[in-house]
Amino acid sequence: MQKVYTKIESIVGNVITVRATGVKNSDLAEVSGANGKSYANVIKLDRDLVSLQVFSGTQGISTGDSVRFLGHPLRVSYTDALLGRVFDGSGKPRDNGPDLNENMIEIAGSSVNPSKRIIPRKMVRTGIPMIDMFNTLVESQKLPIFSVSGEPYNQLLARIAMQAEVDLIVLGGMGLKYDDYLFFRNTLEKSGAMSRTIMFIHTASDPTVECTLVPDLALAVAERFALDGKRVLCLLTDMTNYCDAQKEMAITMDQVPSNRGYPGDLYSTLASRYEKAVDFDDAGSLTILAVTTMPGDDVTHPVPDNTGYITEGQFYLKNGHIEPFGSLSRLKQQVNGKTRDDHRALMDAMIKLYAAYNDTLEKKSMGFMMTDWDDKLLKYGQRFEHELMDLSVNIPLESALDLGWKILASCFDRNETGLKTDLIERYWPQE
């Protein structure tokens, strides 16, 4: 029934064309020849001319290779056997485990009906004070980590993967250095978090096409687990590599580029992935945390810019810590009123004082005289940076709040903090 085609008409970039009939858009095909086998999917149909992008790249493909259409789009297995496993960008095992072919589900499914969405209401605890206390992560939130290359963003993700209070982690790696992949695997294995993790990894040396499939695979699986009542956290790194792969594909396909070479549908492409984040009323939830490296630390670059319009805030990772100023969790208001009654007030007060510390630093660097108040701020700022901002700090929210009060008390008098009197009376540490 499945006819095999043995004449490839053209091979350009990662795209091949064959003459075939009865083929459906987005269908999967298997291309096999002397240099091995690879999957490919249909991206364009023009009468009997079918264009396919070959997942493993077209290097070594001969015009005489055979193409067999499988009659369905790319699918991924969805079973509990996925847990603890590592796959590549075409869904094949990367560890030495067996192939999974049970209960195949389609990737890149339709989006959730907006009228079925609910207002997010549960926080995700990570043990990182800069997140939990100052920019709370909320279930169903989509948040990027804007980072300059060279920052420890993968370390941060790995820590979140180990500590986040969720049922399941799905990690999608795009264009990862092999060392980074090993780092993720080793760290998660050592901490025991691997048993609740599923990894889809595309490394920098793998074919480009597979890079563009990683988010779809990861999110399709994550979404199904969420539907089955799990609280899922999907970590994606690095979305800039994903966008660059999209750019490469678009340009090989002769698409007119819009901004700095990126395709005109970059916004929609990113949005349809990020919008998978959801909280189901009577099932689980899917939260997305994605690294976006900013080329040249430029937030107006098309990738971070489009991302910012889609996501619900952003974390800025700079100089080894999460910046308190540019970072924003748009959903934190939904949850931080319900944690502890001093949470919001303490958060605001500490940030204001930290801003004042920065002004003082500037004054100091210009050689101005330091007043008593300036000295207090300097002491405060240093303690704040070491004890709360530092990425290695690992304490639950309540301890972070207590620590905040302790830092304030060690640096300031009661009436210097701008906090309400009744809160001070209840929380100010007694000497």
Rounded distance, CA 243 to CA 263, Å? Answer: 9
CB of 368 to another protein, least distance (A): 12
Q: Is 224 in the site for another protein (CB under 8 A)?
A: no
Closest to 8 measured CA to CA, from 63, 67, 69: 63
Q: In this structure, what token pair is assigned to residue 121?
A: 């209401």
Which amino acid would we find at residue 92? K
Binding mask 389-428 for another protein (x = CB under 8 A): ----------------------------------------
**Candidate residues 8, 16, 23, 234; the one interacting with another protein per rule CB under 8 A:** 23
Residue 275 or 297: the one with the smaller Cβ distance to another protein is 275
Q: How far is the CB of 324 from another protein (least distance, A)?
A: 13
Q: Which stretch binds another protein (CB under 8 A): 4-12, 207-215, 269-277, 416-424?
A: 269-277
Task: Decide: residue 222, CB within 10 A, 0-12 exposed, 13-18 middle, 19+ buried.
Answer: buried
User: Can you list the pairs that 420-428 forms with residues at least 24 positions away whose Cβ atoms lie under 8 Å?
Assistant: 420/345, 423/341, 423/342, 423/345, 423/346, 426/342, 427/342, 427/346
**Site for another protein, residues 66 to 85, rule: CB under 8 A:** 73
Residue with smaller CB distance to another protein, 127 or 263: 263
Q: Which is nearer to another protein, 162 or 250 (CB)?
A: 250
- DSSP conformational letter for 390: B
Q: How far apart are CA 1 and CA 211, in angstroms?
A: 32
Closest contact distance (angstroms) between CB of 43 and another protein is 8
Q: Which residues 6+ apart lie within 8 Å of 105 measured at CB?
A: 75, 76, 77, 78, 220, 221, 224
Q: What are phi and psi of 266, to 5 degrees?
A: -55, -45
Interaction pattern, residues 279-298, with another protein; x per rule: CB under 8 A: -x------------------
Q: How far is the CB of 148 from another protein (least distance, A)?
A: 17
Contact 297, 317 (CB under 8 A): no
73 backbone dihedrals φ, ψ, rounded to 5° = -70, 175
Chain centroid, CA 334 distance in Å = 21
Stretch 105-124: interaction string toward another protein, x if CB under 8 A? ---xxxxxxxxxxxxx----
| Span interacting with another protein, options 31-39, 209-217, 275-283, 361-369, rule CB under 8 A | 275-283
Judged by beta carbon, residue 165 or residue 265, the one nearer another protein is 265
Structure tokens at 58: 């077209």
Query: 270-309 burial, b for 16+ CB within 10 Å, e for fewer?
Result: bbbbbbbbbbbeeebbbbbbbbbbbeeeebebbbbebbbe
User: Judged by CB, which is closer to another protein: 34, or 256?
Assistant: 256
Using rule CB under 8 A, residue 26 touches another protein: yes
Restricting to residues 46-65, which ones interact with another protein according to CB under 8 A? 46-48
Nearer to another protein, 148 or 227 (CB): 227
Euclidean distance between CA atoms 99 and 91, whole angstroms: 9
Q: From the CB of residue 416, how many other CB atoms can be counted at a distance below 10 Å?
A: 14
Which member of 77, 272, 339, 394 binds another protein (CB under 8 A)?
272
Helix (H) or strand (E) holding 247: helix 239-252
Considering only residues 339 to 378 of the shown chain, the ones binding another protein according to CB under 8 A are: none
Based on the shown chain and the rule CB under 8 A, indicate whether residue 1 belongs to the binding site for another protein: no
Interaction between residue 2 and another protein (CB under 8 A) = no
CB 51 within 8 A of CB 17: yes
The reply on whether position 19 binds another protein by CB under 8 A is no
Q: Which of 60, 93, 97, 257 binds another protein (CB under 8 A)?
A: 257
- For residues 224 and 283, the answer to whether their CB atoms sit within 8 Å is no
Closest approach, Cβ 72 to another protein, in A, equals: 9
- Which one of 152, 308, 320, 396 is in contact with another protein (CB under 8 A)? 308
Interface with another protein (CB under 8 A): 21-27, 44-48, 73, 108-120, 140, 227, 255-259, 264-265, 267-268, 271-272, 275-276, 280, 300-302, 305-306, 308-310, 312-313, 328, 331
